[in-house]
Structure 1
Amino acid sequence: MRPDEERDYVAYVEARLPALRRLACYLCKDEHRADDLVQNTITRLYVRWNRAREARDLHRYVDKMLLRTFLNEQRLGWWTRVWLTDGPRDLPGPGDDPETRVVVRAALARVPPRQRAVLVLRFLCDLPVTEVAELLGCSAGNVKSQSARGLARLRELLDVGEFTKEEVGGHESR
């Protein structure tokens, strides 16, 4: 990579790192796994930087890389994961109740990965159905059905409300 291309890459990654990390934290529910996911994504981006720069929407291209990396990691066996903490540290959100956030995150962690990705993109990242479908490489109808199933599962989990201390990051649910 030429020095000017590398400068562009570094500038892009520095500007997008907080958004990528936030998306990864929503998906992974563990800030260390999220950091690994972002690192894997930006490493892959470095290798593909010349092609990525020519993408119609670079942000969406990189988001799609991150999502595919996440979904591919979910297909791997449990033996590839090492848990070093009790749970993810709460990342502050705009104007939300910390207790509610902890319980919702614990419930969201129990939703299947593909449904979780759809819910995160649709409701936490506020993306329209068509963009989520493009990012996940599926139809808009699939996104809608995954949203409905994911929301139903999330409601079911929140109605039951039985989360252990470990699931809510060491906090008591109320």
Structure 2
Amino acid sequence: MAGNRTVRKAWEDDFEAFAAGRAGPLFRSACLLTGGDTHLAEDLVQETLARVYAQWHRTSWFSSRAVIENPAGYAHTVLVRAFLSHRGRRSSGEHPVGEIPDGAAKEGDTTLRLALEAALRALSPRDRAVLVLRYWEDRSVEETAGVLNSSSGAVRTQTVRALGRIRALLGDGIADLALR
């Protein structure tokens, strides 16, 4: 009996360390997916971590089921699927009001970043997911297809179309912003 508690405590400690280390990257990806809606991004990260916790026992050697070999990749897959699922619900019609809260400026051009975030917000959730997965998380076409439950060809087509849409939204002014 005490051995089971020790094992459970060990994998709970492992999960706490995992969650502390991955919460930041998950939040950044969620912010991009939600178009800067930090409240929804926080909700998605919480939902993601809860779902990962429910499957965390599959990351260990003592599990009799299939093992999750890449927990970080699994968490990002869960995040994207939670985002797409949220957008499909009727109750997701809420839209944030106001501006993105000011924060400490980091390296990089904030004008360019804000223009890109605004353009991402204007895209459909699926287009946003494809671009975030391919270019923010630097995933391959095959990895992106796996996350989105789609074929590689569909991901390539959707990527080209999403890039075309974002270029149309940004127009010629993006070159000026990038050169600053």
TM-score, normalising length: structure 2: 0.79
Is this contact kept in 2: 1:90–1:102, CA < 8 A? no
Residues in 1 aligned to 2:57 and 2:31: alpha-carbon distance in whole angstroms: 27
Alignment of 1:108-127 (within 5 A): 108-127=120-139
Rounded to whole Å, the distance in 1 between the matches of 2:76 and 2:104 is 21
Segments of 4+ moved more than 4 angstroms = 90-95
What is the aligned partner in structure 1 of residue 167 from structure 2? 155
Structure (1 or 2) with the larger CA radius of gyration: 2
Pick closer, same or farther for the CA change 1:82–1:153 going to 2, 3 Å: closer
- How far is 1:52 from its partner? 4.8
1:141 pairs with one of 135, 153, 156? 153
Of residues 94, 100, 108, the one that matches 1:81 is 94
Cα offset, 1:96, TM superposition? 3.0
Q: Matches of 1:90 and 1:21 in 2, distance apart?
A: 16
**Matched ranges for 1:3-152 at <5 A:** 3-29=9-35, 30-53=37-60, 54-78=67-91, 81=94, 83=96, 85-89=97-101, 95-152=107-164
Amino acid at match of 1:70: F
Cα distance in structure 2, aligned partners of 1:52 and 1:92: 36
Alpha carbons 2:144, 2:155 under 8 Å: kept: yes
Structure showing the higher helix proportion among its residues: 2
- The CA distance in 2 between the partners of 1:57 and 1:5, in whole Å, is 15
Partner Cα distance (1:121, 1:91) in 2: 25
- Give, in whole Å, the separation in 1 of the partners of 2:142 and 2:86: 24
Distance 2:12 2:157 in 1: 41
**Structure 2: distance between partners of 1:89 and 1:159:** 26
**Alpha-carbon distance in 2 for matches of 1:137, 1:21:** 22
Total equivalences in the alignment? 160
Instruction: Give me the CA root mean square deviation.
Output: 2.3
Letter in 2 for 1:88: I
Structure 2 residue ranges without an equivalent (≥5): 61-66, 174-180
Between the aligned partners of 1:102 and 1:87, the Cα distance in structure 2 is: 11
2: distance between equivalents of 1:91 and 1:118? 27
